Structure 1
Amino acid sequence: MKKLPSSLFILIGLLCFIMFGMMSWGVHIEISWLQSLDLAIIEAVQSNITTSKTAILSTLTEIGNIRLVIGLTIILVLFLFFKKWYATGLWLGGTILFGAAILTKIIKKVVDRERPDILPLMEKTTESFPSGHATAATVFYGIIGLAIILLMRGLWKRIVIGFITLGLIGFILVTRIYLGVHYPTDVIAGFLYGASVVFVSFGVYCKLSLLLRHVLERFGLADQSELFSEDSVLEQRS
């Protein structure tokens, strides 16, 4: 059966990061067409604001909150450790911690973009670019969705999981615009950066998973992960 090379994941991740970098630069130098795009999308998304919709979306948007994502990650990592999937647990936890939390915070401080003040429905005072919710949701739900897709048999099942994953992430992105706490370019940038983290991390893990297993064995940890290596699970399954 045809194998899916890990280098393809890394290439996709790098392309996403390049697009993120281009958008970051455009925001930094305040390109006029990006500003016009922001205003047009905000106007379209906030064209039908209601009290009930705002209350619902203010709650549902928190499924992308970095604190919730970190909490869910801890629970998932503990479960993986209990199943003796040590390599997978370390990879997942490390990706979320550094990719979705630490590096995002650093980027926010560097760009230091102010929140939009057009029609805010929630009060936020931290930096706006990139959206923390968009980044955290893309990394956390994206990495889980991609893992399920690669482990699952049947093309239609993979397609369904892909649509569900993208739909969930897209929903969170739209809620941040609707609530007036982010510019559209904030959430698009968060998605691009998050996608780059997911694909690069996955590609690197595919290449180094067997090495990580050997290192863990030296510490007396018999890893039983369903490894995403180029010699195992990353084969295309029909």
Structure 2
Amino acid sequence: MRKQSNSLLLIGLVFLALFCIICFGVVTNSAWVKTFDLYWIDAIQSHISSGTTSFILVATELGNMRLVIALTIVIAIVLFIKKRFADGLWFGGTILFCGAIATKLLKSAINRDRPEFHQLVSKTSESFPSGHATGTTVFYGMIALALFLAARTVLKRVVIGLVAFCFIWFILATRIYLGVHFPTDVLAGFCFGSASVFISISVYLYARKPLHNLLIKFNLKDESLKTEPSRHVS
């Protein structure tokens, strides 16, 4: 468990470092940021069509923070009903702090304007990092990583990882397609969200048992420890 937790923490710190690099580039208005943004905006928005736009407008809502919060509440309630109180508190707390509160604070601190070119929908709030990208990555990423750790074969882990990665990046690409975010906004959101997922699960693997024992002291029969992640891959 300790080795697994340390590995997850290391991956999380790498993503956090990447986020800091992107953040520094945006704040200092670096040339590579402009080049990166213009290249991917042109590549994605060159395929705009009415049919595609109609589909994208629906698909992008899968990463809407209001939907993410609503689904988080539902999942937390289900976990509480199953008496997995520690899991529910960890899952809900991570989404709330990393996906909502921390992202809002970062947006206010960086205060980057939205793109001024072709917007298919109107957005006026701060642009960096993308809240859509962060929320999508944290919510679906946590579910995917939990399934990944529980999977008992390499094939299942590969499938879970690929499906999660493609799904998350599709949702992120919709924000660039709609013209409401710079590519570095969504890339930063993905990096910050990924850092949140890996660091959160790493810390939780250490804190799970103490939190379980604390809940027991409050007469809450927590059953989270019955679902320990698999340590072996066959």
TM-score (norm 1): 0.95
**Structure 1 residue 7 displacement after superposition:** 1.3
Distance of 1:57 and 1:124 partners within structure 2: 16
Instruction: Map 1:45-124 onto structure 2 (within 5 A).
Output: 45-124=44-123
Q: Does 1:140 align with 2:139?
A: yes
Which one-letter code corresponds to 1:61 in the other structure? T
Do 1:177 and 1:183's aligned partners in 2 also have CA atoms closer than 8 Å?
yes
Question: Which one of the candidate residues 226, 229, 232 is aligned to 1:233?
Answer: 229
- The count of corresponding residues between Structure 1 and Structure 2 is 234
**C-alpha contact 1:3 1:234 (8 A) present in aligned 2:** no
Query: What whole-Å deviation, never above 9, does each CA across 1:41-71 have from its counterpart, x for those lacking one?
Result: 1001011211111111011101111110000
SS in 1 for 2:116: coil
Partner SS for 1:109? helix
- The 3-state SS of whatever aligns with 2:46 is helix
Contact 2:209–2:225 under 8 Å retained in 1: no
Please tell me whether the aligned partners of residues 116 and 183 of structure 1 are also in contact (alpha carbons under 8 angstroms).
Answer: yes
Deviant stretches of 4+, over 3 Å? none
C-alpha distance 166-226 of structure 1, shift in aligned 2 (>3 A): farther
Q: Is this contact kept in 1: 2:112–2:126, CA < 8 A?
A: yes
Number of the residue aligned with 1:171: 170
Quote the Cα distance in structure 2 between the aligned partners of 1:72 and 1:195: 19
The 8 Å contact of residues 152 and 230 in structure 2, kept in 1 or not, is answered as no
8 Å contact from structure 1 (residues 131, 186) kept in 2: yes
Task: Give identity over the alignment, percent.
Answer: 47
Provide the C-alpha distance between the structure 1 equivalents of 2:196 and 2:177, rounded to a whole number of angstroms: 26
Superposition TM-score, scaled by structure 2 size: 0.97
Q: Secondary structure at the match of 1:84?
A: coil
1:7 has 2:6 as partner:
yes
Given that residues 12 and 196 in structure 2 are in contact (C-alpha distance below 8 angstroms), is that contact kept between their aligned partners in structure 1? yes
Structure 1: stretches of 5+ with no match in the other structure: none
Mapping 1:209-228, distance limit 5 Å: 209-226=208-225
> Over residues 54-113 of structure 1, what are the superposed CA-to-partner deviations in whole Å (9 max), with x where a residue is unaligned?
111011101111110000000000000001111100000000000000000000000000
Structure 1: how far apart are the matches of 2:2 and 2:202? 13
SS of equivalent to 1:118: coil
Which range is displaced more, 96-105 or 6-15?
6-15
Quote the residue 2:203 is aligned against. 204
Distance in 1 of aligned mates of 2:155 and 2:11: 22
